[in-house]
Amino acid sequence: MSINLQFSPRDWERIKRDWTAWWEQELTRPMIVFNPRHEFQGKWIIQQHPGWDEVQDVYCIESILDDYQQQFEKVRYYGDSWPYWWPNFGPGIVAGFMGARVGSDENTVWFEPPSKSGLVELHPSFNEHNFWWRWVKDLTLAAVQRWGDQVTVAHTDLGGNLDILASLRTTQNLLLDLFDAPAEIERLVCEITHLWLHYYDELYKVIQFANNGTTSWTPLWCPGRYYMLQSDFSYMISPQMFERFVLPDLAACCEHLDHAFYHLDGKGQIPHLDLLLSLDRLRGIQWIPGDGQPPAEEWLPLLKRIRDGGKLCQVYATTTTVRTVVRELGGRGFAFWVLDPLSVDDTEGFLREIELEISVF
């Protein structure tokens, strides 16, 4: 089935040119992506289409894509936005691939340990027949086959090594494990990282056939292998534990990827920033202040620290955020995902305003 997008081949040429230059830190301006406001934005696949069983139903896969396609064809793309689709199965669905029980309701997706076996008996492995893995892979493949090079199909949210392990052990148990059995945790995070890379590569093999770049659960377009790495569990551990249990995983992923980013989620992860900046192959850091915290424009010293460390920086932003950051720090190396619901005229006026601000910085 063809898709009728308000996005031309010339638009694609511009997107690929400008995003490639941004990754190389050659642009003096920021990248500005606008939130595509449609019915399914931010919703989980299993929330939209409940009632699936373990028998894959191709018609249901096509109906998911039908729903999204109707929304895509209504969107106009401004700034550095482009048509992309993220198969959202919840944060860290790799835990489901490894046997964790997956639950969902209208508000969230969660994971429960597959059994009550002990830490020593836990040996995650690749299972090509796992229901969740087949669903994600089949849906990704169907999207690539349907939309070809007109839509960038993203990797699903794979999660981070300790986040996945927490889903297999529970967060409370894992916090105790870090003290009681650190050698076993080192073994497990190594095994999980190995499997993570395998799942990434298997999906990349599918996605790359469209020859249309890569993206992930956060909108950065990349000409090669890109992913937004994360370890939300790290909010609860010290830099010493981060260096032992997380940094080797991140280093391995950075070596494997062409363009690796890190999701710095909340002030509890700021103590890990120096370790992150030490990773030469980590290309950038996304800053998320977290619920109840001041907005991103009130964290200018932190954003400057990221940029002074030689890293690119992505921020979820309002128009106020963009104006403030550009005025105080300039636009080079920043990517903003603008969440304000702007009209067409307001969007065009805002882009002209930022262009003028950059010219006088």
Instruction: Give the confidence band of 263 by pLDDT, cuts at 50, 70, 90.
Output: very high
| Residue count of the chain | 361
332 domain-assigned: yes
337 domain-assigned: yes
Q: Which region, left, alpha or beta, applies to residue 170 given φ > 0 means left and ψ of -120 to 50 means alpha?
A: left
Please, what is the end-to-end C-alpha distance for the chain in angstroms?
A: 47
Chain centroid, CA 267 distance in Å: 19
Share of the chain above pLDDT 90, in %: 73
The pLDDT of residue 106: 72
- 85 or 361: which carries more pLDDT confidence? 85
- 192 or 41: which carries more pLDDT confidence? 192
Range of the structural domain that residue 49 is part of? 9-360
Q: Which two tokens stand for residue 275?
A: 């370790």
Burial zone of 8 (CB within 10 Å; 0-12 exposed, 13-18 middle, 19+ buried): exposed
Report the domain count for the chain. Answer: 1
43 domain-assigned: yes
Supply the DSSP string of 266-307, one letter for each residue.
Answer: SGGGGGGHHHHHT-TTEEEEEEE--TTSPPGGG-HHHHHHHH
CATH of the domain at 107: 3.20.20.210
- 210 pLDDT higher than 50: yes
Q: What is the pLDDT of residues 148-200, one digit of tens each?
A: 999 999 999 999 999 999 999 999 999 999 999 999 999 999 999 999 999 99
- 57 pLDDT higher than 70: no
2 domain-assigned: no
269 domain-assigned: yes
- The mean per-residue pLDDT over the stretch 55-64 comes to 66
The pLDDT of residue 58: 47
**What one-character DSSP code corresponds to residue 39?**
T
Residue 216's alpha-carbon distances to 52, 141, 274, in angstroms, are 24, 15, 25
- The mean per-residue pLDDT over the stretch 80-104 comes to 92
| Contact partners, residue 341, CB within 8 Å, separation at least 6 | 37
Share of the chain above pLDDT 70, in %: 93
The pLDDT of residue 48: 57
- 54 pLDDT higher than 60: no
Residue (of 275, 257, 278, 262) closest to 230 by Cα position: 262
The pLDDT of residue 338: 94
- 51 pLDDT higher than 60: no
4 domain-assigned: no
The pLDDT of residue 37: 63
Q: Which two tokens stand for residue 357?
A: 């601000």
> pTM for this structure?
0.93
- The mean per-residue pLDDT over the stretch 206-217 comes to 92
Instruction: Give the confidence band of 1 by pLDDT, cuts at 50, 70, 90.
Output: low
27 domain-assigned: yes
1 domain-assigned: no
